[in-house]
Structure 1
Amino acid sequence: MQVLVGWDNPNEAETIGLFLNVGDIQAKITTDPEEFENAAAMGVWDVILMALNFPSLEKSFALFTKVRALQPEAPVLGACYQGEVVHLARFMSHGLHNFVTRDAGGEFILLLGSVIESANQAVLAQRSKQLAERLREEIESVRQLQESVIPRDIPTPPGYRIAARYEPAQIRVLGDQPVILAGGDYYDIFSMDANNLILLVGDAAGHGIKACMSIMTMRTLIHMIQDKSYVDTAHFVAEVNQRLANKAIVQDEGGFITMMYCTLNTATHRLQYTSAGHPMPLLHNLRTNEVTQLGGEAEAGMPLGIDPNETYHSVSVDMPEDSRLLIFSDGLTDAFPAGGDMYDQFGEKGIIKCLQSAASLSLDEALDKLFVDSQAFTQGSGRHDDTSAVLVERTSLR
């Protein structure tokens, strides 16, 4: 800790130097007001201590004001005699951090080390609080940017219902104050033409600005090339991957994006999908209450942005009447209790159990139950990853 001391009494100044220059404290003590002011102008000080009659009772306030202006971040401590309360009040009202009372025997010198340490810790705590608040504000602005691309108007083709939801993860700073993280999740639902509906969920590795910007980059690419004719979802995903592999924002620090990309023909009720390292969709037959995972590891390609030459596979299945299709990010499966084994997760088993118990509920209620149940599984700690889910229902014609 760097401490600057301006003092009026040379004998006391020498003693103060002996007491302060121990341990982590490096103190510069001067009895020359010009040297004191120059040191304040040239150096970086953690704490400044000055006698409030230095260089004299009449000139000390002017010197204090100059030093405060030169070192606005450093706390200034004062030392005065008992009879100088009126004099002290002027300093306190103009930013003096704290003061010690001098005594004729010099015993107050024994307290200076702890007073200086306390002032330094108080300033560091205040700076940490301000930094955390700025961090919270920056994260909130990025999060709002990310959420601005989440679709609000979801197309609903005849014979179908669609519900979708995104929830960010949370961290805690400064005790119990939560910060909602800017995340790397993204879902989109849009019509290619009268009969073909696009459904996708993406998940960039990590949290924060980088993950958010990776997702924004992917979304931009998808909307740039969505008008091209792609008969096969694998070809579309391969082109997105090739373009993302050349983007530094995605590849930096080993970044990548997983994605589930689906096309649903609402006339033939044929679903085609491609996974780029993403969890496979689940198909729920409402008549039998059976839930089936569509595909496995053999169909799951490498995440986007790693290998520009990666080959992807497409899978096609029929979506029967009275069935629901769930596309989701791993924030749903990876929910686990605080202090518990992270491998003891909500998992696919929890999702399947929830879907089956929600078979008689409306689509919106079923989706809400998925989020409520996975949150409850964490026993109050909350999901540690942001979570997206798209739930599609093909209704009965009867």
Structure 2
Amino acid sequence: MFKILIIDDDPTLRVALKRTLQTQGYDVTVASNGEEGIAQAKQIRPALIICDWLMPDLDGLEVCHRIKADPELETTFFMMLTAREADPGEEDSLIVGLNKGADDFLSKPINNKIEELKARVKAGLRLHLLNQKLQALNHDLQTQKQVLQVLNQNLQTQKQILEAELTEAADYVRSLLPSPLTGTVTTEAIYRPCTQLGGDCFDYYWLDDNHLALYLLDVSGHGVGSALLSVSILNVLRSQSLPNTNFHQPSAVLKALNNSFQMSDHGEKYFTIWYGVYNRLKRQIAYTTAGHPPAVLLSRTSTKTLQVKQLGFSGLPIGILPDEDFEEKYSDIEENSTLYIFSDGAYEIQQFDGKIWGNRALIEVLTDCHQTDDSNVYQVLHEIQRATCTDIFEDDLSLLKVYFS
């Protein structure tokens, strides 16, 4: 039975969380403050901790730091409960908090997010198990180098276990991706990591009734490390946990991300991103990029000619240099226009002659597919595979199609 520790100074919330998680079959312990929570964690060694951000004397940031600094608790999955209107105002505090090791965030109030809480807890426990198994595998590799035959047998067994766990982790990442939108804005998407876990991620959600935020990011590298960083970024953006940030302003969002996710603090990993906010009333999109391929906007002009416009510009990825500023541009969105946002895995494909297929060839495919009334992202994927003569991609491939009716 998994052990879960709840640390919160609100007795009503402690009782509600405990009852909810006990009904799921978990062994739940509660603590009313940070010091008590740390003592309980050292005693029971929970698989997962749910901790309030703001508490008297010892806040959730310090609790997280001290928990993650303990070698016996470093694999514990740490979920932070946040109330954005009550979060610390200093940007440095959040940057430190993100680097303290928090694995997930859930914004208050949670009375309407019980099912989301259950799903996040279940996924967090799966990642906790995966982390433990990866550490055990690494220990085995270090201690059994001289026993080659035994090591080979052990590796085969561990590989099967690891593949099963990676499959669950991949399912978790997929579960975080947004459901398709329908209505005045319609979305379709393809997510094809080159391994079970990849560094691509995307999301879209209404900031209010008239503003839609949408983005696609690509973390350097592949595998568990890249996937966990992309999930962390998604959770921060989805919970709008970046302090003093206007999420209607793309350049402000990228500046805050760059300050919070410097590669020196995240295993030398950086990421590219295309981020935009669509204003439904003005039929206009504000956008900015950080080392990411330009999006492609296809629209019909008054003469019925198909207009192809690339929305993007050059710049450094997120995490390379601190205190970087990001340019912001605007584009009008004609009726019945289609916007394609993608990672570089969609066109940096090596062909048999050794040449790279290229961005221009991808735009030609997008344009040709757009001429077909019933075209969709899977038709685009099929045309990419046909043009490059490959079904196996060496890089993660994500493609987001946004239709503005």
What is the TM-score with the length of structure 2 in the denominator? 0.58
> Residue deviations 1:259-309, cap 9 Å, x none?
111001111110110101111111112432332212332xxx321122231
CA distance in 2, matches of 1:282, 1:225: 27
CA distance in 1, matches of 2:391, 2:183: 38
Q: 1:232 aligns with which of 238, 244, 249?
A: 249
Contact 1:155 1:191 in 2 (8 A): no
Q: 2:170 aligns with which of 132, 138, 143?
A: 143
Higher mean alpha-carbon deviation, 128-137 vs 273-282, is at 128-137
Shift in Å, 1:165 = 2.1
Q: 2:281 aligns with which of 234, 247, 267?
A: 267
Equivalences for 1:102-121 in 2 at 5 Å? Answer: none
SS at match of 2:370: coil
Q: 2:394 aligns with which of 377, 384, 398?
A: 384
CA distance in 1, matches of 2:356, 2:210: 38
Contact 2:249 2:277 in 1 (8 A): no
Q: 2:156 aligns with which of 129, 134, 139?
A: 129
1:333–1:323 Cα change, 3 Å: same
Which residue pairs with 2:202 in the alignment? Answer: 187
Q: 2:362 aligns with which of 351, 355, 376?
A: 351
Shift in Å, 1:312 = 0.5
> Residue deviations 1:219-241, cap 9 Å, x none?
12212327953452101111122
CA distance in 2, matches of 1:139, 1:165: 20
Higher mean alpha-carbon deviation, 271-280 vs 281-290, is at 281-290
CA distance in 2, matches of 1:268, 1:226: 27
CA distance in 2, matches of 1:221, 1:121: 44
Structure of larger gyration radius: 1
CA distance in 2, matches of 1:229, 1:295: 21
Shift in Å, 1:340 = 4.5
Please list every run of 5 or more consecutive structure 1 residues that lacks an aligned counterpart in the other structure: 1-72, 74-119, 171-180
1:394–1:139 Cα change, 3 Å: same
Equivalences for 1:7-22 in 2 at 5 Å? Answer: none
Contact 1:167 1:387 in 2 (8 A): yes
1:243 equivalenced with 2:275 (yes/no) = no
> Residue deviations 1:211-259, cap 9 Å, x none?
01110111122123279534521011111221122883x3x1x210111
Which residue pairs with 2:299 in the alignment? Answer: 285
RMSD: 2.6
CA distance in 2, matches of 1:211, 1:360: 36
CA distance in 1, matches of 2:387, 2:181: 32
Contact 2:289 2:312 in 1 (8 A): no
Contact 1:274 1:312 in 2 (8 A): yes
> Residue deviations 1:329-379, cap 9 Å, x none?
111012233x641xx23322222121222123346x331122122233443
CA distance in 2, matches of 1:290, 1:231: 27
Contact 2:263 2:269 in 1 (8 A): no
Contact 1:221 1:240 in 2 (8 A): no
Which residue pairs with 2:187 in the alignment? Answer: 162
Shift in Å, 1:122 = 6.6
Give the fraction of aligned pairs with identical amino acids, expressed as a percent. 25
SS at match of 2:366: helix
SS at match of 2:231: helix
Q: How many residues align?
A: 255
SS at match of 1:187: strand
What is the TM-score with the length of structure 1 in the denominator? 0.59
Shift in Å, 1:123 = 5.4
SS at match of 2:239: helix
Equivalences for 1:1-398 in 2 at 5 Å? Answer: 125-152=152-179, 154-158=180-184, 160-170=185-195, 181-225=196-240, 229-245=246-262, 248=265, 250=266, 252=267, 254-286=268-300, 287-297=304-314, 301-337=315-351, 340-341=353-354, 344-362=355-373, 365-380=375-390, 382-395=392-405
Shift in Å, 1:202 = 0.8
Shift in Å, 1:190 = 0.4
CA distance in 1, matches of 2:208, 2:391: 43
Shift in Å, 1:198 = 0.8
CA distance in 2, matches of 1:308, 1:220: 22
Please list every run of 5 or more consecutive structure 2 residues that lacks an aligned counterpart in the other structure: 1-139, 141-146
